[in-house]
């Protein structure tokens, strides 16, 4: 624009610069959505259909990618730092963003609408056991029982559907583990936010063909 002496308002120039930098060093069109703390989920159903969830309701945004290759490039940018990959032989993958948000990506041939991406975000402020009780999610006596079970080192299974609060409850219950204990976690995608100091976080990897042969 400077070379061709195109008259463009400063605000437009700055916005263009932000978009270029975001596409080069960030997550492209997703950056503005990720900066909005009121958004709990981002759904990319192809380059021209980007939806969000806010306060439990779905909204279609005006955000768009250039094409399928643009979406795929952002997917690879998310996967590369955590050692995951996606291709036609492994067309579906789970991952995470640096802030702990859960990511699921699906590409052709199993996706018929092009590369798709889903980002499920978690509250920045971690809920406590008292918060859970105050919200009416779990009665106080039941929470006290959960605390006793953790301190008694009983085996506990937390199960439920997507978005039902399994990770939130597990984070709350992990707070009952005494700080004198050593904690080792093994997750498909690391998303637990344990507050203790002595924590070893492990992340699962798919078995190799050699391991599978054994």
**What CATH number does the domain containing 115 carry?**
3.30.450.370
Q: Provide the number of structural domains found in the chain.
A: 2
Query: Does residue 209 lie within any of the structural domains?
Result: no
Q: Say if residue 125's pLDDT is above 80.
A: no
How much of the chain, in percent, has pLDDT values that exceed 90?
A: 47
Q: Are both 88 and 173 inside the same structural domain?
A: no
Query: Does residue 214 lie within any of the structural domains?
Result: no
Q: Provide the CA 136 distance to its chain's centre, in angstroms.
A: 26
Q: Are both 93 and 168 inside the same structural domain?
A: no
| pLDDT confidence tier of residue 61, bands split at 50, 70 and 90 | very high
Cβ 120 vs Cβ 166: under 8 Å: no
Query: Does residue 1 lie within any of the structural domains?
Result: no
Query: Does residue 84 lie within any of the structural domains?
Result: yes
The enclosing domain of 141 has a CATH number of 3.40.50.300
Which of 60, 88, 120 is at the close of a domain?
A: 120
Q: How far is CA 77 from CA 55, 92, 138, 179, in A?
A: 28, 15, 39, 36
| pLDDT, averaged across the chain | 87
CA nearest neighbour of 146 among 117, 165, 169, 124: 169
- How much is the pLDDT for 208? 61
Q: How far is CA 33 from CA 39, 41, 42, 51, in A?
A: 7, 9, 8, 10
Which of 120, 148, 175 is at the close of a domain?
A: 120
Residue 18 C-beta-side C-alpha neighbours within 13 Å: 10
- Structure confidence by residue, pLDDT tens digits, 158-199: 998 877 888 888 889 998 999 889 999 998 877 787 878 889
Parent domain of 74: 10-120
Query: Does residue 86 lie within any of the structural domains?
Result: yes
Residue 62 C-beta-side C-alpha neighbours within 13 Å: 0
Q: Are both 112 and 73 inside the same structural domain?
A: yes
Q: Is 212 helix (H, G, I), strand (E, B) or coil?
A: helix
Query: Does residue 3 lie within any of the structural domains?
Result: no
Which of 99, 120, 141 is at the close of a domain?
A: 120
Q: Are both 103 and 147 inside the same structural domain?
A: no
CA nearest neighbour of 58 among 46, 37, 42: 42
Q: How far is CA 72 from CA 69, 78, 99, 150, 203, in A?
A: 5, 10, 21, 43, 24
Please tell me the distance from the alpha carbon of residue 205 to that of residue 77, in angstroms, as a whole number.
Answer: 19
Query: Does residue 154 lie within any of the structural domains?
Result: yes
Cβ 105 vs Cβ 86: under 8 Å: yes
Q: Are both 101 and 46 inside the same structural domain?
A: yes
Q: Are both 96 and 25 inside the same structural domain?
A: yes
Q: Are both 144 and 184 inside the same structural domain?
A: yes
| pLDDT confidence tier of residue 1, bands split at 50, 70 and 90 | confident
């Amino acid at each position: 624009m400077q070379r061709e002496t195109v008259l463009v308002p400063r605000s437009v120039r700055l916005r263009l610069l932000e978009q270029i930098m975001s596409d080069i060093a960030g997550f492209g069109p997703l950056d503005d959505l990720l900066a909005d703390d009121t958004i709990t989920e981002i759904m990319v159903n192809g380059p021209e259909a980007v939806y969000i969830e806010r306060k439990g309701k779905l909204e279609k945004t005006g955000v768009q990618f250039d094409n399928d290759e643009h979406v795929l490039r952002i997917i690879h940018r998310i996967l590369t730092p955590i050692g995951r990959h996606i291709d036609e032989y492994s067309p579906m993958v789970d991952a995470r963003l640096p802030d702990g948000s859960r990511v699921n990506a699906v590409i052709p041939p199993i996706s018929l609408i092009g590369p798709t991406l889903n980002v499920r975000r978690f509250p920045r402020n971690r809920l406590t056991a008292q918060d859970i009780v105050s919200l009416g999610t779990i009665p106080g006596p039941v929470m006290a029982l959960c605390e006793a079970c953790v301190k008694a080192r009983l085996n506990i299974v937390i199960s439920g559907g997507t978005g039902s609060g399994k990770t939130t409850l597990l984070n709350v219950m992990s707070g009952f583990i005494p700080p004198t204990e050593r904690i080792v976690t093994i997750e498909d995608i690391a998303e637990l936010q344990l507050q203790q100091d002595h924590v070893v976080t492990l992340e699962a990897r798919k078995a190799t063909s050699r391991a599978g042969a054994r």
